[in-house]
Structure 1
Amino acid sequence: MPVTRLIHTASLAAMAATFAALAGCATAPSTPVSNAVVAPYADTIDLDGRLSVNYVRDGKQESISGKFAWRQHGARTDVTLSSPLGQTIATIAVTPGEAVFKEGSNPPRSAPDVDALSMQALGWPLPVSGLRDWLQGYAVAADGKRFAASPAQPKVTTRDGWQLDFVSWQQGGATPKPLRIDARRGAGGADGDIERIEIRIVIDAGS
């Protein structure tokens, strides 16, 4: 059974609770620590969070929610995708020149491009390569320049067409860290028949 169907068939109550929690993050007022840009980029981060994905394919709206764990150490990234109840659905391991997608007992899939692999395996684009930057408040802007977000400058369009909004920020640190990121993109060649997609990312914990 495809990953998307496994997530769709998770407990409806759990999915509703997840959407409610994400909606709470959307409506809660944000009090930025400061207007400074984010902390310096770190090669090693460990994050846990939630995803809410809405996309349109062939005129049909699809919605998915779940959890993720992000382990980034140097050039290697390991991503675990889970159902709203925490059941592991799939893992993605990225090393220089290769990405490997593993779903349950199915044989692993591999490809040089992690974003193309995730699109093929999931049926919707999960921008793993971009998230290496986004989760820390950075991006490569449409003009090719390095962008560092801040509470005063939270929006950017990336070189590959994603519209990012760093909606809210974690509290209590000397420099701001992203708490919620909204990413949107319209139809694109690499996205197959996806007409548009919106991804809401909420970071629960991390370092």
Structure 2
Amino acid sequence: MTLSALALAFALTGCATAPSSNLATVAAYRDTIELSGRLSVNYQKDGKVESVTGSFDWTQRPGNVNVSLANPLGQTVATIDVTPQSATLTQGGSAPVSEADIDTLTQRTLGWPLPVSGLRDWLQGYAVDAQGQRFAASPARNEIVTKDGWRLRFMEWHDPNAAQPKPRVIHATRAAAGDIQDLEIRIIVNQA
């Protein structure tokens, strides 16, 4: 699995379910989280359909996000470290690649910006809508188009009847991103 394919894969995986009519609100936003999950990406590039799967470990602290990406066999193939000053991608056997921010880093390594900065919110059920307003997803209010053009659907929840459910499955789509077409990213977040 190439770095580009795995980094592209680091975004999302899941199964669709019908949204619940539960009116519960999303869990309160946390600056510090540790999550893991599985992911899958489907897209077209140069007229060819591509598909990539893997898993991730996500550690978020105030001012820092660390992501470890693994292939389907569980072997770590890349890590991403994001601070307010820089973003660094390290792949075994290769020199680290750094840029001023994560969007520039993914643009350089993938040819389009992977939404890692958005994932800080998405993994907790939040997003910024096309009008720049903060959106809090819930089982009854589970779909949004983000300010940067991603269509998000929060498909499943950990304990959807809880007072503050946490997202379990997130599906993101985008018609085009650089030379990538029909991008579909899914993530399953393991129970925290």
Per the normalisation by structure 1, the TM-score is 0.82
> Of 166, 182, 185, which residue of structure 2 is paired with 1:196?
182
Equivalent residue of 1:26, what SS?
coil
Deviates more, 1:34-43 or 1:138-147: 34-43
User: Which stretches of structure 1, 4 residues or longer, exceed 2 Å deviation after superposition?
Assistant: 4-7, 27-32, 118-126
Structure having the higher helix fraction is 1
Aligned AA for 1:145?
Answer: Q
Query: For residue 79 of structure 2, what is the aligned residue in structure 1?
Result: 91
1:153 matched to 2:141? The reply is yes
Query: For residue 2 of structure 2, what is the aligned residue in structure 1?
Result: 2
Aligned AA for 2:45?
Answer: R
Q: Is the 8 A contact 1:54 1:63 kept in 2?
A: yes
Q: What's the offset of the Cα at 1:60?
A: 1.0
**Residues 11-160 of structure 1 correspond to what in structure 2 (within 5 A)?**
26=15, 34-122=22-110, 125-160=113-148
1:175 matched to 2:164? The reply is yes
Query: In structure 2, do the counterparts of structure 1 residues 205 and 123 end up closer, same or farther at CA, with 3 Å as the change threshold?
Result: farther
**Superposed CA offset, 1:27-62 (max 9, x none):** 566767x42220111000000001100011121111
Across the aligned residues of Structure 1 and Structure 2, the Cα RMSD in angstroms comes to 2.2
**Superposed CA offset, 1:119-178 (max 9, x none):** 432456531100000000000000000000011110000000000000000017431100
Q: What is the aligned residue count? A: 186
Distance in structure 2 (CA, Å) of the matches to 1:102 and 1:95: 14
Query: In structure 2, do the counterparts of structure 1 residues 6 and 112 end up closer, same or farther at CA, with 3 Å as the change threshold?
Result: closer
Unaligned 5+ segments in structure 1 are 8-21
Distance in structure 1 (CA, Å) of the matches to 2:45 and 2:20: 37
Aligned AA for 2:166?
Answer: K
> Larger RCO: Structure 1 or Structure 2 (Cα < 8 Å, ≥ 6 residues apart)?
2
Unaligned 5+ segments in structure 2 are 8-12
Aligned AA for 2:3?
Answer: V
Identity percentage over the alignment? Answer: 52
Query: For residue 19 of structure 1, what is the aligned residue in structure 2?
Result: none
Q: Is the 8 A contact 1:48 1:68 kept in 2?
A: yes
Query: In structure 2, do the counterparts of structure 1 residues 66 and 125 end up closer, same or farther at CA, with 3 Å as the change threshold?
Result: farther
Aligned AA for 1:66?
Answer: G
Query: In structure 2, do the counterparts of structure 1 residues 122 and 85 end up closer, same or farther at CA, with 3 Å as the change threshold?
Result: farther
